[in-house]
Structure 1
Amino acid sequence: MNFDPRVGATNLTVFSSGGRIIAFSSSTSVFLVPQDTNQLFWLAADSQRAYVGLTTQGHKRLYAQALVPFANPVPWGQPWILQAWFRLPRQENRLTLGVRNSYARYEKLRFFRAPLKLSFILTLTLVLLLSLLAAASGALYAARRLVAPIQSLIEGFRSVARGDLGVRLPLSSRDDWGFLSHSFNAMAQKLADAQAVAHQSQSQIERERFYLETVLSRLTSGVIVLDNELKVSLANDSAVETLKAERHELLGQFIAGFAAWHPELSEFVSACIEAHRSASGEFQREIAMSHGLNRRILLMRAASLTVGELHTKGTVIVFDDVTSHLQSQRDAAWGEVARRLAHEIKNPLTPIQLAAERIQRRYQPLLDVPHAEDLAGLTATIIQQVEAMKRMVNAFSEYARSPDIHITRFDLNQCIGDIAELYREQSPSIEIALELSEGQLWIEADQARILQILHNLLKNSVEALHSLSHGHICVTTRMIPDSEEVELSIEDNGAGFSPVILEHAFEPYVTSKRKGTGLGLAIVKKLN
């Protein structure tokens, strides 16, 4: 086939409907060989319609491919297809190639859009997770760095609360936390210094308290301290011993409740309350207390404990059992009185008795019988009363005299038996029973004093039973368990003492008998 340059195509090719080349013509060396059929050719062959498309040939040169079906010259033959290639100008080639490349890239990107989207999603998800992990790690690290000083501060306060004042926080920075740590360390140091001072003060207080307790324990006077609520805050050993109470009954207890434990001390408790409420701040009183046969006298002095000029902290009460002291003074006074009475009375008694006897001897023979009898009765009365006065003076002398003590070892039961036999003979109407300990009861004492005591006690009992038809006296001895002491008791079924006399039974010149001197029990107590 001859190529006509006027057509403008670079080559022309005639194909049969089956793709066989019928004819070919080219105007350039680029198309020396007919081009193979492509997808566009088969579209034109199948549809028998003309198609135009662009394709690349050589070095990215674009050509327009035109396919036009036409009738076969042979009447019974299939249609042929004319393919013509047209080279585009440079400008259109560049633009078209750019559009084509862009479209190709677009198609490529559109093809990879779903995988890229999934990849981007996975990538972003991974980046997000990594970011979250990094943020959490950073936040945790920052929180740890932020909380670390707080935790350290909390641990420091807990240690201080437990009493460990030696804890110190590290000064790792100069920010607010560093200032707070420095303040905590300063506070802990001040607390440690204050604790050391408190311990030192406590030790000094304990030493002073021990010294005070030692001094109070050595005092013979009883000391009680009452607080503002009338509770006993301090009581020394002498106070417990003098009041004959237990320590737990005093310490920490209300003084008013102490009377419930010991009713005999009710007057003492009332005096303590009155001393505490005394406006003058000083109080002194002598208190007499009786419990059974025991009668005691306490000399109580009290003063207010003040802090400053106005505030009252409590009351200190000091008391002494002056019973023995007063009794000694009373005994000494009575002894002096008895000694003087014995001296002043005994001297004229002998001349009076001698004068009465001389009058009787001299004038009785000179009188008639009636007058002589009267004279004899009068002189006998004088002599009898003088003898009574002598016996009383001798009792005074015996009470005033303090005989020497001679300690010997003797059997107390035997002495009691001998004296009991004497009084049985003198008073056969009175039954004297002996309930003595088994065997011999050896003691070490002044035998003369013991005999005098037994004589005085048995004499008092016998004299108290003369008015009774069935008098009974029981003398008992026994060893006190867990000790080396002996108990001697003399009981009778007499009328006993009245309450008024019982309180002063052992004092001189106190008696319930019309003819008694009142010195028997006083001598017994003095000899005891």
Structure 2
Amino acid sequence: LYPLPLRYSRLGESVQSASDEYNRLKFLRQPLKLNFVITLTLVTLMTTLIALWLAIYSTRRLVAPLRELAEGTRAVASGDYLKQLPVHSTDELGVLVSSFNQMTNQIRLAQEATANSQQQTEAQRTYLETVLTHLSSGVLSLAKDGTLRTHNTIAEKILAVDLTAFEQRPITTLGDTHSQLTPLSSAITRHTQHNDQDWQDQIVLASPYGRQTLICRGTRLPETTDTLSGYVIVFDDVSALIRAQRDAAWGEVARRLAHEIKNPLTPIQLSAERIRAKYLKHLAGDDQATLDRATRTIIAQVDLMKSLVDAFSHYAQPMQLKPVTTELNRLLQDIIELHRQNKKINTFELDLDDTVPLVRIDPAGIRQVLNNLVINAADAMAGIPSGRLTLRTHQATGSKDRSVVLEVRDTGPGFPQELLGSIFDPYVTTKTKGAGLGLAIARRIIEEQGGSIRAENDPAGGALVIIQLPVSLDTKPTGPLEGITNTASSH
């Protein structure tokens, strides 16, 4: 044995210690390896999860403005212009969101302005329609090519035609369909074809209510657009005004005649009667016959002139009417009873509607009107063996104001066609005798009581006079009436 140095001994111990450590680590190698793998795996998993969370968070934060923009776009598409999006940043997305908010705000303001404009337009249209509806003038609106666009209700009332059926049709079709309106449609067409800026015409129509005079004015609209350009036609029915002026003129003539003519008539008649009484018995032969014929002619003509002057005076006098609530059917039967002995009328027929309401009339005035109509009908049917006079009552239909209609119909020759428009004017008559004031006075009596009267020829033959009388608000008659019990028909 050789002793080793101490250094070798320490080295040996060190080698032995390292060998033990190696053997220990070799023994722990697999567990350590597994621990490291597990640790690294956990670290990797945690890093991946954190990265994924950060990615999701970043994505959501990045997509949130886009999602809000999409929701705002859907809201705007559905009409919600009050939608405002929150601005989270000042980058490009923030600028885009701010622009979106500004856009929706401008759209909202524009929509409010449009709504206000529409409301103002609707209010103006309603105001204009109200004004046109309550105008006393008829108004027609025509397109540039003469097509009827719109009209007011007064135009239909004046023309007695449903103008709605003629809208979007040429105005010429109005005259083609209703011949009485041909003068109106022809005048409008003439001025529109000449492209007149402003014009005015007086047009006379032969309406079912008699001669109708219209003052028609037209204006060409400024040519802004095709839908706004065209013409406006305004017309007024001045028939009543002209008739009133004519009646006033005739009244003045009647007063002058009564003063200037009637006063000398009495001395003329007395002088003729005195000459006749004094000298007729002293003459003989032809001289006596001549004086007799001359004085009789003078006296007869003076009486005729007196009757004419009396008719003049009666026509000129203001109507003193006393309207009361009256049962029209009883009044008609009472009047007919007075004429049943008239040999010129073979048959009297009453077709009276028991359901007609009471009317507000002056019975004496209506008696005068009907007596005149019955006498005229009797004269017209003189010599006709089967002459029949029919009186019919019924309630008016399709009228805004409640009224009762009285029809007086005969089987005579009817009215001359050329006189239908002026049959109610003074001194218009088909008789060889008479002043021609009967129907004129009848019209005054009817119109003074708020009614209307018109004449036409019955298609079946004969004359037809239609009277419309206002309905009374009372439920019981307020005026005494003599008469017989109401029946439906009488012959």
Normalization by structure 1: what TM-score? 0.64
Instruction: Look up the match of 1:315.
Output: 231
Return the offset for 1:462. Answer: 2.0
1:361-510 to 2 correspondences below 5 Å:
361-408=277-324, 416-417=332-333, 419-420=335-336, 422-425=338-341, 427-435=342-350, 437=352, 444-466=360-382, 468-470=383-385, 472-480=387-395, 485-510=403-428
Moved more, 149-158 or 485-494: 149-158
Cα RMSD after superposing both structures: 4.7
Q: CA deviation at 1:525?
A: 1.0
| Residue type of the alignment partner of 1:365 | K
Could you tell me how far apart the structure 2 residues matched to 1:140 and 1:207 are? 57
Structure 1 residues 164 and 474, CA gap change in structure 2 (3 angstroms): same
What is the distance in 1 between the residues matched to 2:74 and 2:168? 35
- Give the secondary structure class of the aligned counterpart of 1:365: helix
Separation in structure 2 between the aligned mates of residue 241 and residue 139 of structure 1, nearest angstrom: 81
Aligned length: 415
Amino acid at match of 2:320: D
After TM superposition, give the deviation of residue 506 of structure 1 in Å.
0.9
Q: Which amino acid aligns with 1:303?
A: T
Q: 1:522 aligns with which of 437, 440, 445?
A: 440
TM-score normalised over the length of structure 2: 0.69
Q: Output the CA distance in 2 between the equivalents of 1:490 and 1:455.
A: 11
Post-superposition shift, 1:366?
A: 3.1
Alpha carbons of structure 1 residues 439 and 286: separation in structure 2 relative to 1, 3 Å: closer
- Is 2:239 the counterpart of 1:328? no
Residues 310 and 207 of structure 1: is their aligned pair in 2 closer, same or farther, counting only changes over 3 Å? closer
Matched, 1:345 2:291: no
Shift of 1:209: 3.0
Report SS of the residue matched to 1:394. Answer: helix
Contact 2:195 2:220 in 1 (8 A): no
What is the rounded CA distance, in whole Å, between the counterparts of 2:377 and 2:226 in structure 1?
62
Report if the CA contact (8 A) 1:235-1:250 is conserved. no
- How much does 1:413 deviate? 5.2
**Cα shift at 1:233:** 5.2
Structure 1 residue 206 displacement after superposition? 3.0
Mapped to 2, the partners of 1:181 and 1:256 lie a distance apart of 62
User: Is the strand fraction higher in 1 or 2?
Assistant: 1
Higher Rg of the two aligned structures: 1
Conserved? CA contact 1:171–1:178, under 8 Å: yes
Deviation at 1:261, TM superposition (A): 6.8
Task: Measure the CA separation in 1 of the matches of 2:379 and 2:89.
Answer: 107
SS of the residue 1:434 aligns to? strand
SS at match of 1:364: helix
Structure 1 residues 418 and 163: alpha-carbon distance in aligned structure 2, compared to 1, 3 A threshold: closer
Alignment partners' CA distance in 2, 1:218 and 1:361:
70
- Work out whether residues 392 and 408 of structure 2, in 8 Å CA contact, stay in contact via their aligned partners in 1: no
Number of the residue aligned with 2:38: none
SS of match in other structure, 2:95: helix
- Equivalent position to 1:195, from 111, 115, 139: 111
Name stretches of at least 5 consecutive residues in structure 2 with no aligned partner: 1-43, 447-491
Provide the secondary structure at the position in 2 that maps to 1:435.
Answer: strand
State how far apart, in whole Å, the 2-side matches of 1:439 and 1:176 are.
89
Partner Cα distance (1:443, 1:199) in 2:
52
Structure 2 residue aligned with 1:186: 102
Q: Structure 1 stretches of 5 or more lacking a match? A: 1-126
Tell me, in whole angstroms, the C-alpha distance in 2 between the residues paired with 1:150 and 1:263. 72
CA shift, 1:521, in A, is: 1.2
Q: Which structure carries more relative contact order (alpha carbon 8 Å, separation 6+)?
A: 2
Q: How far apart are the structure 2 equivalents of 1:211 and 1:227? A: 22
Q: 1:224 touches 1:239 (CA, 8 Å); kept in 2?
A: yes
Q: Structure 2 CA distance, aligned partners of 1:210 and 1:405?
A: 42
